[in-house]
Each structure stands twice: as structure tokens, then as C-alpha cells.
Chain A
Amino acid sequence: MTATTTPANAGFGTPQYPSEASLPRQLEIQPARKMRSSGRVLPGLPLSLGVSLTYLSIVVLLPLVALFARTFSLTFDAFIEAVFAPRVVATYLVSFGAALLAAVTNVVFGGILAWVLVRYSFPGRKLVDTLIDLPFALPTAVAGIALTAIYAKNGVLGAPLEALGLKVAFTPIGIYVAMVFIGLPFVVRTLQPVLQDHEIDFEEAAASLGASRLRTIIRVILPAMTPALLTGFALAFARAVGEYGSIIFIAGNVPYVSEITPLIIITKLEQYDYAGATAVASVMLVISFVLLLAINLLQAWTARRSGRTP
């Protein structure tokens, strides 16, 4: 039941477990059970589709429309001025740049982490597995304060790093560190189920056919993981771009250097400039949407190219 409804939902929201994209094919192999009078294979499609669309509209679309509607109270010139002021543009670079770097970092290390958690059994594995979720559960302000305490010049990590000439807290590096922290679970959790489903036989087959370890990783494991890695990347990136609570404590918030775009939005709100705030927010949203769309397309492309079978 759950398996049959999945493809119907797969078009909406972010496909969490891209390996299931292979399911439609399984469905197609069962044409024997002829369509019922409704003419559809899937049970309850009109109802579930209706519920999905209504839900999506209320939960996601409506607030977004309200956001854009508010920006229309600005004239075009005022909009451009609010959105492309040099100080605001500087924050786009910081926010999106740091978020991209953090997401890349998380894909690399989150990938290794997921691999270790799935493939190896070691004492304390369950504990480590639970630790991964902590950045989800922690109030972001707490995370920010904790990170700042560690990376400040009198902190456990901050002191030795500063001795090496690397300042983390109150610099853009601090922003990156906070983004890595909050983004990690997204990569690990999207990758884990895919790795779990990935039969070890393929690797053994590759090895027995004479492939080196590196070749096995590059030609066998990575292609199968790419869609999940991309999803994890997209989620970690999106979360990092929108993050405010934890970053604000560690960033230092110096204009042109370590200000993030959400801070600009808050700044505008503090001046009761609702329209300006929503204008900047809508630009953020458009950039995020375009990037996420690109990632989703890339994901679809890799999925098609790899034929969905490792």
C-alpha cells in the first residue's frame, strides 16, 4: 500500500529517497490486474492528489504569496534600491558563498560518516547515530552560543586556532562553521537509507572482476549515491541559507564582512520597513529556488544517466 502510493507523491516535495524512483518500473510489470472502472492503477489518486495540493497551498504557497504581495507595496526603484544596495549585495555573497561551501563540506564528511555508520559495526555506533540528529533538535540559539564558546579566542578550539593565526568566531569562517554544524544531519540522513539498500554484492562483483578499490568507489558506489548526495546537498544548503539563530552569535555581524542576508532582513524589520525586508527575502527566495531547481534537475539527469540500476 505504502509502496504503491509513493510514486504518486514522488512528484511533490523533495524526493527523500531517490532509490525509490525505480518503483514505477516495478508497477509497470504488473499490467495483469486490469484497471478498474476509475481507469487508474493507483487507488485513491484524486483524493490524495487533492489533499496534497490543498495542503501544499496552505502550508507553503500561501505564506510565499503573502511575502511577494508585500513587496509590491514598493515602487520598482525602491525595490531595486532595497535589494541591490552594496551592503545587501555583500550579504548575498557571504550567505550563499558560505552555505555552498558548508554544503560541499557536509557532502564529503557526511558521506563518509553515513558510510561508516551503515557499513561498519563498532561499539557506540548507536550513540554516534543518535548524535547526528542533535543539530536538528538543538534550539539554534543554543547551538550558536555553544559554537561561539568553543571557537572564541578563549575557547577550547578557538585558543589553539588563534595561536595558529586562524580566527574563527566573529569572522566569516564562524558563519561557515555554524552552517556545517546545522547542515550535517541532512546529508547523513538522506544517504543512510540509500547506502543500506545498496547491495554489497555489487562491490564484491566489481572486485572479483578486477576493479581496484578506487575504481569500485568511483564507478560503482558513487554513481548509486549521487542522487542522494545531491538531495542531501540541496537540503543542507537550503537550511544554511535560511539559518539565523545560530549564526548571529558567531558571525560578528560586521557590515560588508560578516553580515548574513537574514540579518539584513531583521535590520529592516527593526526599522519597521516591512516592504524592504520582504523585498530582500523574496530575492533570497528566488536565488534559493533557482539553485534548488538546478540541483533537482541535475539529480534527475544523473538518475537517468545511471539508469537507476547500479
Chain B
Amino acid sequence: MQSRKLLAVLGSSLGLFFASSAAAQTTLLNVSYDPTREFYSEFNAAFAKQWKTKTGENLSVKQSHGGSAKQARAVIDGLEADVVTLALAYDIDAIHENGGLLPKDWQKRLPNNAAPYTSTIVFLVRKGNPKKIKDWNDLARAGVEVITPNPKTSGGARWNYLAAWAYALAQPGGSATTARNFTKSVYDNVKVLDTGARGSTTTFVERGIGDVLIAWENEALLAIKELGPDKLEIVVPSLSILAEPPVAIVDKVVDKRGTRKVAQAYLEFLYTPEGQRLAGKHFYRPRDSKVAAEFSKQFAPVKLVSIDTVFGGWQKAQKDHFADGGVFDQIAVRK
């Protein structure tokens, strides 16, 4: 008797569960990388509100965060992401190459290389800048301890490495050889190679290891906001790289789930003044020049070079520098 009652309760609650999920609104899954968590939770709410007024549809956007390449692998292995918003184009290329979930020309489908917001690589130093770090060449100096994640395990850290390389290349008399030697002396000063960006920030800030942390600007600004400007300072180098975290629709998934329209609108909303403003609020550089002007105090002017012009795109940069046996492996030799 007792058990039958229990069964009834169980059955009805199960029914309720399915009923509620059947009546549930459209859902979108945005698979992103680690530091965008705060940005997208605010952006998702804004977009859902706008979508509701426009179409009357209830929308719930779910987000998933992790290391960029790990997230890409999850999508390749079957995580049903409607959109991906990752740290570098190489990881979205991988989604095309392994399984063809989206077309090869995905980066042409949205403005600005499908990167609605950008960032760059800056330095985080301890208050008062005791080691007088002003520019990239100070990172190669003997006696300066540098903290940066391993570019082989952290997609974000590949930008750090490439920025150092691009700086050396832009110096008078710069060549591939000088750039290689320079990058090697920077990485010779690296005593801890964490596997991810947040790990490096912890090592630098919490453990007190190192004199300078090479970081994404948005991470550096966030660290200062969270940990207080009384401990850390940002140093903007004379030249840095334009980091373009790209976004894309996963075609096979949206077509299967019937969410193409809303997914498209979601990504396009990133380019609207409202979306751009939210990106700026969360320390990403807005593409929209009007919105960018509103944040001019937050983002110091810096000469930026792009990966396409200096390195010939991600595929080539990855192959030359980060693949097994590539330049990074060659400069990380036994000491």
C-alpha cells in the first residue's frame, strides 16, 4: 500500500517534470571559455529580455565554461552547443575539421572576423612596479621572474607568446631569429608554467610568485577590480597583439534543434551598442567605436598587430609554434 502511494507520487512528479520541460521555453547553449563567465551571464539576461519583447518567446540561455580547447573538444564529442564563443579561432577551426559541425568559412559570416569584442595582452606587476617593468624587453632581463601559462595547454596563453614574438619582430633589425631568441629569453624567465590563465593569476597574486604576469587585459582588469588596486598595477607595453575571441553558430546543432534563428540573433546582439557596452563593462574592448569611446579611460591606447598580418593566421601560427616539435618546444630545452 505504502509503496503504491510512493509510486503514485513518483509518477506524478515525473509527469510534472516532463510537462514542465515540454512547456519550457526555447533554450540555447553557449559553450564558452573561462573568463567570459560573468560577461555572458549578464549578456544572456539582456538578450532574453530583448528576445521576449521582440518575439514574445521565453528564452533561457545556458552557459558552459572551461578551457577553450577543452570546450571545443566537448562540442566535437557531442556537447550540443548552439553557439560557441571561444578564446581563439583555432579552436573553432577544430570544430570544423573534426566532424564538420560548422563550415570552413565560419569566420566570414559575422563582421570583424566573427570577433565582436577584442582584448590584448598586458602586464600585471606588483604595486609600485618594483622591478621597473615598462615593456616587453624588461621581461627578458636577467633576474625578472615571469608568470604565464603554458601555451601548449592554454589557448589564451598562445596570445601571450605571440605578442612577445610580435614585439621582437617589430624592433629595428627584427627577424625571425631575433624574435626567437627574444622569446626564448622571456620563457627562460618563466619559473611556473600553469596549465591555464586562472591558474597563473593565482600563482602570481595569491602565492606571490614572480615579478610580472603576462595576462589578457580583461583578466588583468578583473584581477585589479577583485583584488584591489592597492596590490597590483597594469603596465601596457608599447606594442601588443590584437586578441580576437571569436564566436560562431554550430550549424549541425542549430539545424537539429531548430534554433538557428534565435542563435543568429543572439550572436548579432553582441554587435549592438547594448551588447558592446556589456562587453566593455566586463573589460573586453568593444569593436563599436562609439561604445569604445565611452570606455576610453579603461583601455589605454596601444599599438596592436593582428595574428593574420604577423603570423599568417592561426593555423600557421599553431603549426609553426605550438605543435609538437614546433618553436615553443625547441626553445623550451633542457636547462
Contacts and interface: CB of A to CB of B under 8 A. Distances in A.
Q: Give the dominant DSSP class at B's interface.
A: loop
Contacts, number: 85
A249 B199 contact: yes
A181 interface: no
Nearest to A255: B332
A270 B329 CA distance: 15
A256 B334 CA distance: 6
A270 B152 contact: yes
A145 interface: yes
A263 B195 contact: yes
Nearest to B332: A255
B1 interface: no
A253 B150 contact: yes
Interface stretch (A108-116, A197-205, A271-279): A271-279
A35 interface: no
A80 interface: no
Contact of B73 (A253, A255, A272): A272
A309 to B, nearest CB: 50
Contact of B324 (A90, A145, A276): A276
Contact of B192 (A86, A90, A253): A253
B192 A271 contact: no
Interface string A60-75: 0000000000000000
Band of interface residues on A: 20 to 34
Contacts of A169: 207
A266 interface: yes
Interface in A45-81: none
B39 interface: no
A5 interface: no
Interface string B186-224: 000011111100010011001111000000000000000
A287 interface: no
Given A85-B324, A152-B208, A153-B209, A253 B334 contact: no
Nearest to B68: A270
A269 B325 CA distance: 15
B322 A154 contact: no
A270 B69 contact: yes
Interface string B321-333: 0111100010011
A270 B157 CA distance: 12
A270 B150 CA distance: 11
B94 interface: yes
A138 B193 CA distance: 24
B208 A87 contact: no
Interface of A: 82, 85-87, 90, 145, 148-149, 152-155, 169-170, 248-249, 252-257, 263, 266-273, 276
Interface of B: 67, 69-70, 73, 76, 94, 97-98, 150, 152-155, 190-195, 199, 202-203, 206-209, 318, 322-325, 329, 332-335
By Cβ-Cβ distance, the 3 closest A-B pairs, closest first, are A152-B207, A255-B332, A256-B334
